[in-house]
Structure 1
C-alpha cells in the first residue's frame, strides 16, 4: 500500500509518496490584480504573469486550520495532480497538524480524510514528532532532542524523549515568517515606497537580504555610516514582471554611488532593516510583544524538564522551519544559549541541510518503521468507532 506524507504547513504543503521525493507547494489560493475573477490554487502561482498586488487566501489563521473550503480546494488540486494521482482506497496518509490542536478541527480533519477522500488509513501527528523521529533515526544513540520549529505563524520549542513529546516543556513564541514579512512591509512603506499590498514581493526581499546579526549594536553603527564604510547597506532591484521577473540584490561594486543605475529600475535601499526584522525572533519586545525571545524560551522549556535529562536536551537542539534559513541564525542562537546555560553543560545546535522538509523526511522514515501499522487508524476502525479511536491513537 502506498503511503502519502503531507506536512500541511500554514504557508507551504510538503507532499510526496514515501518512496519518492518531496514537493514544496504553496498551501493557499491567490487572486491577482490583473485577473481579479480567476482564483489560482497552490502551484498555479507560476501561471500568474504579473504577481504584483497578489492577494492571498489562506486556509490557516494564527496557526490553526480554519478555512476548510480553501484547504479542500488545495488538497483536491494536490491529490488530483498528475504527479500524485492519489488512489484513496489503496493509500495511507501521514498528515501533520499544530500542537495542542482544537478537537473540533481534529474531528473535521478525520471526517474529510475518511469520509470525503476515503483514505484507506491515516496517521495524524505534528511536525515536531516527525522531526524528532528523523533526528533519532540519524543518531540512534541519542534519547532526547529539542525541536525548534520556526514557521509561518509561530515558533515552537518541543522537547522529545524516545520520540514522545514532553508536553510540560512545549513553548510557543508568537513570531513567525508572516509577522516578519508584514513588519518589513511596514518599515519599507514608512521609509521609502508603499508596499503594503506587495506581500509576495516583500517576502522574496526578506528571504534575499535579511540576516541575523551577531552583534546588533555594532551592525546598527555600521548601518548609519556613509559611503563605502556602510557594508550593511544593500540595493535591491524590484521586479517589474516584464523585463525583471524576479528581484535581486545589486553587486556591492555597482551599488556604491557609481551612478550606473539603468533608468527604469525601481530600487529599494535597505540598511538596518536587513537585521532588525529577524531580530524579532530574539527580542519580540522590539515590536511590543511581551514575550521571551527564542534563547530564553529554550532555556525555560528545558528547565521545566527533569534535571538529569537537561544536559541531553541542550546537546541535541535541531532547527526546522523556514526562518532558520536566515544567515547567522544558528550561530546567534548557539552563542546566546551558551551564555544562559550553566558553563559545564555542552550546547549544540544542528541546522539540517533542508530545515523546511526535515519533518517530511521524518514522515517518510516513519512509514518504513516496523510499528507503523499499529500507529494508524484504518477506515474500518473509524467507521466502527468514529472520532474516539483517533483520539485514542493520535495522542498529541
Structure 2
C-alpha cells in the first residue's frame, strides 16, 4: 500500500507528514532566505538551524497575498521537504494538499503541473483548511449538544495572509458563507516592525527576528484604554515593559526574551484590567527625564524594549478601523459569515466556533473575541468558542485523519486521469 503525504501548504509555514500520524514530521518556513553574510539561499528547515545567521535575511516566498505566485520556487521547497525531510518517494505516494480557499483556476493548473509532472506523485487530493479543521474537531467532540448532532462548525482561521470565517456543514465548506479579513500574521509582524523601528531601533529588514518577538511577547488586551494608561507608567511599575535581546552572531545566533518572568507580569493583572482604572497617570520630573533618555538612541545597542506594542499589534485583528483600515473587525466578520447562511444554522454555528491558525495563540485571544461577539449575537443564542489544542497543526491533523480513511484513494485524481483529462476536468471532483 502506498503512503499518503499530507501537506498543509501555508503562506508562512509548511506542515508536512504522513497520513495516519498524529503530528507532522516537519513544520518549516515556506520560504527561502539568504543572510547578508552568505551568497547561498537557505531553504525551509535550513532557516531554523541553530548555526544559521538570520540577521538581515533576504526572504523569497512562493506565496503573495495568500496565493501561490511562484510555482518554481514552491517546487524547490516541496522537493526539499518531501525528499529530504520526509524521505518520501512521490512515484509511490499519494498527496493530500491543503490549498487556500477560492484558489484561481490558473494557480490550480500550475499546482497540478508541479505535483504530477515535476514531482511525479501517483495521485492527488485537494482539500481546504476549514473542512479539515471541522473533521478533526468533530472526531474529538462528544456526541451531544446541538452542534455535534448537526455536524456544523464555524471555523475561524487566522492564517499568514488572511483571516477567514468559514461555515462548515457535514465536512463541506459553504463557500457563499465564507467571509475574509485581509489581515494575518504577516501584517501583524510588519506592524510590529514599524512600531519598533519608529520608537527604538531600525529593524525593518529583520522579519524573522520580529516574527519571533511577536510570537513570544504579544498578547490580546481585554481593556485597551486602561492598558494604554498602564503602559505609560515608568520602569517596574509598567506591567507590560519587557526586553528582547537581538542576536549578536557570536554568543547567540537567535534573539531571546531577556527576562521571561518580567515579560509575563501582565498575566497577574485581574481579568486583564488594572485596579487603577480612571486614575490619571501623572508625569513626574523623573518620568520626563527617563523619556528624554529613551529619545537619545544608542545605535549600537543589541536589544529593544516593548510596552504597549505588545497588545497594540494583535489589536489590529479586532479594531482594524483604528489603524485607518477599511475593514470590519473579527467579531463582525464572524457575524456576517453566520448571517450569510440559512437562519436555522445561526444558533448552531454560534455555538460551535473553532479557532485555528497561529495568530489565535496570542494569550486571551478567545476571551476577547467572546467579549466582542456577545453583544452582536441574539440573547437567546449561546456563544461557544473552542481553541484548538495546537492551532498550527490543527489543519494538518484533519488532513492526516482524512488520508487514513479507507475511502481516501477513491477520492483522489490519479496521474493517468490527469494526463488523459487535464487539470480542469479532474478538479471538478473536489467541488470547491
Shorter-chain TM-score bucket reads over 0.9
User: Whole-Å Cα distance in 1 between the matches of residues 401 and 412 of structure 2?
Assistant: 15
* 3-state SS of paired residue (1:279): helix
1:58 corresponds to 2:61:
yes
Query: Match for 2:130 among 128, 131, 138?
Result: 128
Structure 1 segment 290-305 matched on structure 2, within 5 A: 290-305=326-341
Give the aligned partner of residue 32 of structure 1: 35
User: Whole-Å Cα distance in 2 between the matches of residues 382 and 49 of structure 1?
Assistant: 40
Give the aligned partner of residue 196 of structure 1: 204
Give the aligned partner of residue 278 of structure 2: none
| Number of equivalenced pairs | 388
User: Whole-Å Cα distance in 1 between the matches of residues 407 and 372 of structure 2?
Assistant: 39
Note the C-alpha offset of 1:51.
1.3
* 3-state SS of paired residue (2:73): helix
User: Whole-Å Cα distance in 1 between the matches of residues 419 and 325 of structure 2?
Assistant: 45
1:204-246 deviation line (CA, Å, top 9, x unaligned): 1111111000111110110012233211211222221321333
Query: Match for 2:77 among 70, 74, 77?
Result: 74
Unaligned runs of 5+ in 2: 266-289, 291-299
Tell me the TM-score normalised to structure 2 length. Answer: 0.86
Tell me the TM-score normalised to structure 1 length. Answer: 0.94
Q: Is 53-62 or 136-145 further displaced after alignment?
A: 136-145
Note the C-alpha offset of 1:97.
1.0
Q: Is the 8 A contact 2:46 2:52 kept in 1?
A: no
Note the C-alpha offset of 1:252.
7.7
Query: Match for 2:104 among 102, 124, 127?
Result: 102
Q: Is the 8 A contact 2:153 2:349 kept in 1?
A: yes
1:335 corresponds to 2:371:
yes
Q: Is the 8 A contact 1:154 1:176 kept in 2?
A: yes
User: Whole-Å Cα distance in 1 between the matches of residues 262 and 395 of structure 2?
Assistant: 41
1:314 corresponds to 2:315:
no
Note the C-alpha offset of 1:374.
2.9
User: Whole-Å Cα distance in 2 between the matches of residues 119 and 147 of structure 1?
Assistant: 30
* 3-state SS of paired residue (1:94): strand
* 3-state SS of paired residue (1:277): helix
Q: Is 92-101 or 230-239 further displaced after alignment?
A: 230-239
Note the C-alpha offset of 1:282.
0.5
User: Whole-Å Cα distance in 2 between the matches of residues 323 and 361 of structure 1?
Assistant: 18
Note the C-alpha offset of 1:265.
6.4
Note the C-alpha offset of 1:284.
1.2
Unaligned runs of 5+ in 1: 258-263
C-alpha spacing 1:201/1:252, structure 2 compared with 1 (3 Å)? closer
Give the aligned partner of residue 268 of structure 2: none
User: Whole-Å Cα distance in 2 between the matches of residues 254 and 365 of structure 1?
Assistant: 41
Query: Match for 2:361 among 293, 304, 325?
Result: 325
Q: CA RMSD in A?
A: 1.9
* 3-state SS of paired residue (2:75): helix
1:253-278 deviation line (CA, Å, top 9, x unaligned): 88999xxxxxx862311111000000
User: Whole-Å Cα distance in 2 between the matches of residues 118 and 251 of structure 1?
Assistant: 49
Structure 1 segment 210-359 matched on structure 2, within 5 A: 210-251=218-259, 266-359=302-395
C-alpha spacing 1:231/1:89, structure 2 compared with 1 (3 Å)? same
Extract structure 1 runs of 4+ deviating beyond 6 A: 252-257
Query: Match for 2:188 among 172, 180, 183?
Result: 180
Note the C-alpha offset of 1:393.
0.5
User: Whole-Å Cα distance in 2 between the matches of residues 248 and 84 of structure 1?
Assistant: 30
* 3-state SS of paired residue (2:305): strand
C-alpha spacing 1:140/1:66, structure 2 compared with 1 (3 Å)? farther
